[in-house]
Amino acid sequence: MKNAPRALAQDELPPQPQQQRSIARRQRLLDAARKLFAENGYGATSIEDIASRAGAASGAFYLYFRSKRQLLLVLVDELMQSIESLELARDTNLRRFLGRALREDRRHYGVVRAFHEVCASDPELSALRERIERWTSRRILKFFEQLAKHPRARRNLDLQPFAQMMDRHFWSLLARAASLSPRAFQRELDLAASVIEHYLWT
């Protein structure tokens, strides 16, 4: 399977910091942006807000990122790396796998929210989102193909459109996850698992 699409493929970053203090400051800016995007969304978060939450001067932001959009692309790339490193389940404990997979993305919830928001008005990022979703849909299809080998699996399943539908649902869930309570999020996971089980297995 092809590697994950990279958000920063055509977007040159300022030089990477070399000193430990600068590396730590850049990381604080990224962490602050994640939290603010989760709390307020992309449009309502300013560079000044990010710098202030990170304990840095606004001018320090531009040592590491050329714009708020570029910072978001860095965070999207980190999310892609996280998804790429997630090994597809080799057993059929579907609920356990979904819970582990989606909760591991908890620190990225605000990134997904911000990315979906900005894609609505940015054609370039909207096209990137389409490439990313095609890639994640293929990964989900591969996972469902594993589950379809279970002795209880239904026959003659049309897995590809089902994988696309569930992929869109998972992205929507991640975009909403920052505003959901742990209990509400668990209900969403249980519902998704039930839908998959009822479709795939007798």
pLDDT of residue 91: 54
Q: pLDDT tens-digit profile of 18-76?
A: 888 889 999 999 999 999 999 999 999 999 999 999 999 989 999 999 999 999 999 99
Radius of gyration for the chain, computed over Cα atoms and rounded to the nearest angstrom: 19
Mean pLDDT calculated for residue range 171-194: 88
pTM score, two decimals? 0.87
Specify the CATH architecture of the domain 67-200: Orthogonal Bundle (1.10)
Q: pLDDT tens-digit profile of 78-126?
A: 999 888 887 765 555 777 778 777 776 677 889 999 999 999 999 999 9
pLDDT of residue 117: 95
pLDDT of residue 114: 95
Q: Using 50, 70 and 90 to split pLDDT, how confident is the model at 9?
A: low
Residue 155 has pLDDT above 60, yes or no: yes
Sequence letter at residue 64: Y
78-113 in b/e form (b: 16+ CB < 10 A) is bbbebbeeeeebeebebeebbbebbeebeebbbbbb
> Domain map of the chain by residue range?
67-200
pLDDT of residue 76: 94
Residue 173 has pLDDT above 70, yes or no: yes
- What's the sign of the alpha-carbon dihedral 140, 142, 148, 154? positive
